[in-house]
Each structure stands twice: as C-alpha cells, then as structure tokens.
Amino acid sequence: MGNHLLEVRDLSVRFHTAQGMVNAVNGISWHLDRGETLAILGESGSGKSVSASAIMNLIDTPPGEITAGQILFDGVDLLQAAPEMRRRTNGKRISMIFQDPLSHLNPVYPVGWQIAETALAHGWTKTAAYDRALSLMARVGIPDPQAALSKYPHEFSGGQRQRLMIAMALMLKPEILIADEPTTALDVTVQAEVLSLLEELKAETGMGLVLITHDLGVVADAADRAVVMEGGRIVEAGTPHDLYHSPKHPYTQKLLAAAPGKGVMRTAGKLAPPILEVHDLKKSYGAFEALRQVGFDLHAGETLAVVGESGSGKSTIARLVLRLEEATSGQVLWKGEDLLAKSPKEMAKLRRQLQMVFQDPTQSLNPHMTVFEIISEGWAIHRDILPKSQWRARVAELLEQVGLSAAHAMRAPHQFSGGQRQRIAIARALALEPEVIICDEAVSALDVSIQKQVIDLLGDLRDRLGIAFLFIAHDLPLVRDFADRILVMQKGEIVEQGTVHQIFDAAQHPYTQRLLYAGLDADPDVQAERRRKRRMLERA
C-alpha cells in the first residue's frame, strides 16, 4: 500500500435530493498503478461514476457532499488540496473523456483549436500546441489530420469525435486517463476500434486508465483489474478472468447470467404463411438514400431481427412500415393489401394489428397520463375492442401479464424505473391485441440485467400469444437467443439474411463477420480470441 499512482480510500459521497439523503457511494476503496487499466463495472445508479467525479472535482456541493475518505494522487490527498492546485492537476495530470463526445465539443470552434486550447491554457506557445495537436490527431487515426484541424465537430462521425476527445485528453501527457462509458454511444465495430486505440495509447505512454462501464464485454476486452459496484458499494474486485470464471458475489453472478448470447438458439419450425411482405422499399432524403431496395417477409408468429449499425436504415424500415414517414417507393403488403396505398382513415383502422415498442420508454409514455390512461387509450381510439366497463379489469390483467401489478394502474410513468416503464409500453402495445409488434431498439436503453428480463418477457408473450416480432437492434448477441431469423443491414441495404444458426455459425458476408467479431464477449478468453480474429480480418 501507499505507492499507488492513485488511491481512493473509504470514499463516501451523498446527495441531498427530493427523496431525502441518497448515499451515492458508501466507503469505497480502489487503486490504480501506472500502465494499468482498472475497470469500474456497474449498472445505472450503482455509483460507478461518482468516484471519478470526486477525483476531477466535478461534484457540485451542494447538493453533493463528500462525507468521508481520501483520494491520494502521488501521495497527496486531493480532497484536502487547494482549488488552484486541483485545477492545475485536472487536464494536465489527470484527464477525462465522456460518453457523448458531441456534447463535449464546442460546435462553433474548429476541432484543431479546441484540442490546442488545453495546451494554450497551460502556457504553451501556439506553434508547439498546434504541432502537438496535429501529431495527436494523426496518432488517434483521424484521416488527413492537417485538413481536419480546421474542420468543425459536426463534420466528423461519432467514432472520430471520440478519437478527437481522446486526443484532447492526451494533449498534456496525463498520468491518468479516466474514461466514463467512452464507447457506449458508439457502434460495435467502432467501439472495438476505440478500445484498441485506448489500449495502445496506454502502452505507449504508460499512463493509468480508469474505464467506467456497464458492459462486461468492455471489461473482458480491456481491463487488467475490475471492481464491481452495486448500490454505492464495491461488491467484488479481481481480474476479469477471475470475475468471469469464479464470481463470488451473487450480484456478479447475476450480471454474468444476464449477459446475452449464452442461451440455446431457436430452431425455426415450419414457417407459417407470411403476413407482412416488404418489396423494394426505398426511402431517400434528397440525394441521400437511407434505404435502397429492401425486401423481406415476416411470417405469423415468427421473430425476425433486423441488425445493423447506426445509419444502416434499420429504424427507417419500422417508420416506413408503420407509415410514420412516407416511403419514396416500394410496397408493404399486410396480408396481401398494400399499406402504403391506404388512406389515412383506413390506415388508422389497420394500426391496431401492428404495434410498436420504442427505444426509450421515458419518452414514449406521456408524462401527463396515468398508467391506466396510457394502456386504455387504444380502446378509446378503437371503440370496438372492449366495452368501457371492462377496461379496468383488462388493464389489471395486462399489467400482471407484463409482470407489474394491478395497483400500479393509477400511478404516473415517472414513478417507475426504466425497466418497469418498458413493461408499461409493452402492455400498451398488447392492449390492441396486435399480430405484429415492432420493437425499435426496445431494450438498448436498459441495464443488462433488465434487458434480459424484458427479452424474456417478450419471448414468453410470443410463445403464449403467437405474436410476430420485428425486432430491431444494433447488437448481434442480444438477438441470438430470441430471434428465429436475422437480417443484417449496412448502409440501407440488406447484406445478409438467414436463420440464427446460419448467421452465428456460418456468416457469409464480410460485414456480418466483422459485426460478430466486433461484439464484445464477457469471457476474457473468448474476447481475446475475437480480438485476434478481428485483427486478422482487418489485415486481410
């Protein structure tokens, strides 16, 4: 003890909130050495980011309050240090990158200026600062760095922006880099690249890396050591290998069990006749083609997963099929009738057969309505489904079907947690007794363990009620245990489609293969193997 680069000792932080005092972290301790990657793993609300905020002096007091503990950096307790000294430490010796790079880059300045600014603020000359910015931008893999210096943040892709943030953070050669969910907002293939970059940079500079994440895969891929947090406490610590193969704490075990891609793949039985046929569907915004010539069938009672990265056009399909947007051309046949040719009135009637569950239940449930009003709204629109006298009983029944209770009906959506809200959204979709439910990234906003619960619920509903699902996701492992067939999309086109077995065991298209290897596995050994394969694929 005592000679660590950074050591957090018995840190306790609490926040004054409307619900009273909340202990965000409770007596947590961890340490970091030079050249090491420490992962802090936890779900939302576990307090995983709080210690990083305390290190960077980002906790607002009030409402926050650091009640106990020390943060030793090079032997000095940062919590006791003068503000001036902490300011000089931030950015220069310890720097931080965040989840959403777009909101941390100023849109009105060119990125070169923003990267150089850190150095200018610490007294560098302009030439020296720009030279370093240029070499760093080349290092983090920005194409044509000289020209990129004078470009603005919106001209870069999400992955490139995160690279820019990394360049900015490394400007002054910090000894510690704290990365708070650095890859959560990125596509899988980009995520793998950014993690590799962080790894390389750590090896080159010998800095310590703190990686805050909710993703077991990230831990397996990049961490030397990891601490697992739950409810403001560290419940377990160890190497990723130990954590995966011999988890001691029940919470770690639960997390591991919830990691997707472990169950038995479904073998499709005999296919029922198709109920939804999509032919040559096209959508363009001006010259940009979001969707070109897409066609597929959805059979009754089947689960079809549409997988692709951002910009692949997968959500566009959902919006076009449901006529939330008008297609440029093509046909969507619902039991033989073209939905795209229906008048708004006819469409309104048909809608009850095709329902949708949205990505973020916080936004898709009207905050001004109670759960009862939300679920029964469909019956108020389609009067013939259920007489009003039975609404109450049926709402109770639906709530129980999705794992909530009848007593929840009179509450407002904000009184529920994220997973519960998604259950309400599912109950709303079920209320109309649809034959197809389209799930647009329906679980991507949820924590891993909740993800599993919701997927299990959907699987259960499918088996009991025979509903067909069009399940849109950006993540292949997630759909592995759930889907019957998979469509893989890239840049507005379907590059491959087949049964789950075909895709996972014998993917043909190079893009599908890349997606498979880019996905992060919770098992460090499997992950190391994937990383090797990915490298090979890159070289090929």
Partner 1 sequence: MNDTDIDVNAPVKTAPRTGRAGTMLRLLWADKLAFGAAVFVIVIVLCATIGPAVLADAASGTNLRLRNAAPFSMEHGPLYILGGDALGRPLLARIIVAAQNTMMIAAGAVVASLLIGGFLGLVAGYVGRMTGEVIMRLADVIMSFPSLLLAVIVLYMLQASIANLILVLAITRIPVYLRTTRAEVLEVRERMFVKAAQVMGASSRRIVFRHILPVILPTLLTIATLDFAFVMLAESALSFLGIGIQAPEITWGLMVSQGRQYLTSAWWLAFWPGLVIVLTTMSLNLLSSWMRIALNPTQRWRLEIGGKSNG
**Residues in touch with partner 1 (CB under 8 A):** 18, 43-46, 231, 254, 322, 324, 347-352, 354-356, 358, 360, 363-368, 377-378, 380-382, 403-405, 407-408, 410-412, 414-415, 417-420, 423, 425, 428, 432, 446-447, 449-450, 453
CB of 367 to partner 1, least distance (A): 5
The pair of structure tokens assigned to 273 is: 């006749």
Distance CA 421, CA 491 (A): 32
Helix (H) or strand (E) holding 210: strand 208-213
In the complex with partner 1, the residue whose CB is nearer, 230 or 302, is 230
Distance CA 293, CA 492 (A): 8
Q: Tell which residue, 414, 419, 319, has the closest CA to residue 371.
A: 414
Is-cis flag, bond preceding 62, omega within 30?
A: yes
In the complex with partner 1, the residue whose CB is nearer, 346 or 505, is 346
Q: Is 444 helix (H, G, I), strand (E, B) or coil?
A: coil
In the complex with partner 1, the residue whose CB is nearer, 215 or 447, is 447
In the complex with partner 1, the residue whose CB is nearer, 101 or 232, is 232
CB of 342 to partner 1, least distance (A): 12
HSE of 66, CA atoms in CB hemisphere, 13 A? 21
CB of 338 to partner 1, least distance (A): 18
Look up residue 371 and give its DSSP letter: H
Q: Is 174 helix (H, G, I), strand (E, B) or coil?
A: coil
CB of 378 to partner 1, least distance (A): 5
CA dist list (Å): 452 to 73, 425, 478, 479, 534:
39, 16, 9, 11, 27
In the complex with partner 1, the residue whose CB is nearer, 370 or 502, is 370
The pair of structure tokens assigned to 534 is: 């990915």
In the complex with partner 1, the residue whose CB is nearer, 74 or 325, is 325
In the complex with partner 1, the residue whose CB is nearer, 17 or 329, is 17
CB of 537 to partner 1, least distance (A): 36
Contact assessment for residue 172 and residue 153, using Cβ atoms and an 8 Å cutoff: no
In the complex with partner 1, the residue whose CB is nearer, 111 or 445, is 445
In the complex with partner 1, the residue whose CB is nearer, 36 or 43, is 43
Q: Is 238 exposed, middle or buried (0-12, 13-18, 19+ CB in 10 A)?
A: middle
The pair of structure tokens assigned to 346 is: 């006819």
Q: Is 246 helix (H, G, I), strand (E, B) or coil?
A: coil
CB of 249 to partner 1, least distance (A): 13
Q: Which amino acid is at 497?
A: Q
CB of 366 to partner 1, least distance (A): 4
CB of 404 to partner 1, least distance (A): 6
Contact assessment for residue 161 and residue 180, using Cβ atoms and an 8 Å cutoff: no
- Number of residues that this document lists for the chain: 540
The pair of structure tokens assigned to 343 is: 């008048």
Distance CA 241, CA 216 (A): 11
CB of 424 to partner 1, least distance (A): 11
CB of 199 to partner 1, least distance (A): 31
Distance CA 164, CA 168 (A): 6
In the complex with partner 1, the residue whose CB is nearer, 69 or 378, is 378
Distance CA 476, CA 500 (A): 10
